[in-house]
Structure 1
Amino acid sequence: MELSTIIRPAAVKVVANVSSKKRLFQDLGDIVASAYGLDGDAAFSALQDRESLGPTGVGHGVALPHARIEGLEEVVGAFVRIEKPLDFDAVDRQPVDLVFALFAPDGSGVDHLKALALVSRTMRDSSVCAKLRANEDPDTLHTILTESHATRAA
């Protein structure tokens, strides 16, 4: 599994300011609706439901919200770089500026976990995060995300 099969360039955005986690999840719903044709409201609700189980801020300014959506056929992702970091109730209490959201089919099981592990490994790489924070062009951000794992795997 490669990140290039999970996230399309159209699902990578830079936003200047997000006022709340709820607003971020609405933006992510809009992104996956536009990039993949998903129901944006269903994506938003699924993220909200998952987040109510516990925050998905994993530390070092990174959040990995994820949810299962009925009717989805494959695991897909969306990435947002926030210019003004957002309080996310992260484990280290640091605000979040890099958000990689995953959406998986309702009964995906192993594929969902593999995708989450891949994204987690990528976003734990401090050099990848530094490059993501240093760039504002969505195409460049997509390239950083999709090439970082591929070069390590080679």
Structure 2
Amino acid sequence: MQLSNILKPEAVRVIGSVSSKKRLFQEIADVANSAYALQAPSTVEALLDRESLGPTGVGHGVALPHARISGVEDVIGVFVILEKPLDFGAVDRQPIDIAFSLFAPEDAGVEHLKALALVSRTLREQSFCTKLRANPDAATLYTILTENQSVQAA
């Protein structure tokens, strides 16, 4: 599995600033709506429900909010960079500025977990995150995200 299998160019955005986790989820849901035709209100609700089980801020400025959503046929992703970091309640108590959201079918099993592991492994590399943070253009970010996977696979 590669990020290009779960991420469309239209699902990558740079967001100026948001005032709360819920507002970030709304922005992510809006991107998911425009890129994948997911209904924004139910997407926000699914992200909030998952977040209530425990924070998805994994540390080092990265969050991996994810949810299972009815009507989704395959695992899909939304990637956003925040120009102004947000207090997200991450495990290391540091604000986040990178969020990669995954949405999976309600009955997804191993594919959802594989996608989450792939994103987690990719964004654990500090040099890679530094490269992402240095490129505030959505098209460039998409290229960096998908080229990295080709390099790793080689």
How big is each residue's C-alpha offset from its partner over 1:112-150, in whole Å with a ceiling of 9 and x where there is no partner? 000000000111011210111001110000111111122
Matches within 5 A, 1:51-70: 51-70=51-70
Q: Does 1:142 align with 2:152?
A: no
| Displacement of 1:54 | 0.6
| Displacement of 1:73 | 0.3
- Partner residue in 2 for 1:91: 91
Per the normalisation by structure 1, the TM-score is: 0.98
- Partner residue in 1 for 2:43: 43
Gaps of 5+ in 1: none
| Displacement of 1:40 | 1.3
Please tell me the residue identity of whatever aligns with 1:94. Answer: Q
Matches within 5 A, 1:4-153: 4-153=4-153
| Displacement of 1:152 | 1.2
Cα-Cα RMSD: 0.6
Identity %, equivalent residues: 65
SS at match of 2:14: strand
Gaps of 5+ in 2: none
Q: Structure 1 stretches (4+) deviating beyond 4 angstroms?
A: none
How big is each residue's C-alpha offset from its partner over 1:1-47, in whole Å with a ceiling of 9 and x where there is no partner? 11001010100000111100000001111100000111111111100
**d(CA) in 2 for partners of 1:7, 1:137:** 16
**d(CA) in 2 for partners of 1:152, 1:109:** 24
| Displacement of 1:66 | 0.4
Per the normalisation by structure 2, the TM-score is: 0.98
SS at match of 1:67: strand
